[in-house]
Amino acid sequence: MKRKTQITLTVTLDENNTPEAMEWSAPDGGVKEQSMEAFFLSTWDKDTQESARIDLWSKEMPVDQMQVFVHQTLIGIRASYLKATEDAQMGEAMQQFCDFFASERNLKDVKKGN
């Protein structure tokens, strides 16, 4: 039985079209108007064999939090790639880059809520 569901992204812009506030909702997942400071969205078009992206962050997003966000996103991409391809060699190379990124930006000691 097929069914559809929705994930909604809402962006409030200032007079310069810069994101001021952002929220996302996923009713089937129990998420309603959850505030967020940034999001990266990538899609894949199988016909053109190209990805499309939307990367947004609020004007209040501090650089140190952006660094943590990017690092965690890279870790997630590595995990997704490894799960989809089982390419352990590239997965290890990606992990080495994630470790390098964390080391260079001093992210190893970042704690949730900081």
List the end-to-end C-alpha distance of the chain, in Å, as a whole number.
Answer: 44
How many residues are there in the chain? 114
Give the tens place of pLDDT for each residue, 79-91.
Answer: 999 999 999 999 9
- Answer yes or no: do 3 and 55 share one domain: yes
pLDDT of 108 above 80: no
Residue range of the domain that includes 97: 62-106
Residue with tokens 């940034």: 38
- Answer yes or no: do 33 and 85 share one domain: no
What is the residue type of 6? Q
- Answer yes or no: do 48 and 94 share one domain: no
Number of structural domains (the chain) is: 2
Q: How far, in Å, CA of 23 to CA of 35, rounded?
A: 4
- Answer yes or no: do 67 and 53 share one domain: no
- Answer yes or no: do 49 and 20 share one domain: yes
Helix or strand holding residue 82 (H, E)? helix 63-85
* Residue 113 within any structural domain of the chain: no
* Residue 114 within any structural domain of the chain: no
What residues pair up with 25 in beta bridges, in sequence order? 8
Q: How far, in Å, CA of 71 to CA of 98, rounded?
A: 7
* Residue 47 within any structural domain of the chain: yes
- Answer yes or no: do 72 and 86 share one domain: yes
- Answer yes or no: do 9 and 49 share one domain: yes
- Answer yes or no: do 51 and 14 share one domain: yes
Give the tens place of pLDDT for each residue, 20-71.
Answer: 999 999 999 999 999 999 999 999 999 999 999 999 999 999 999 999 999 9
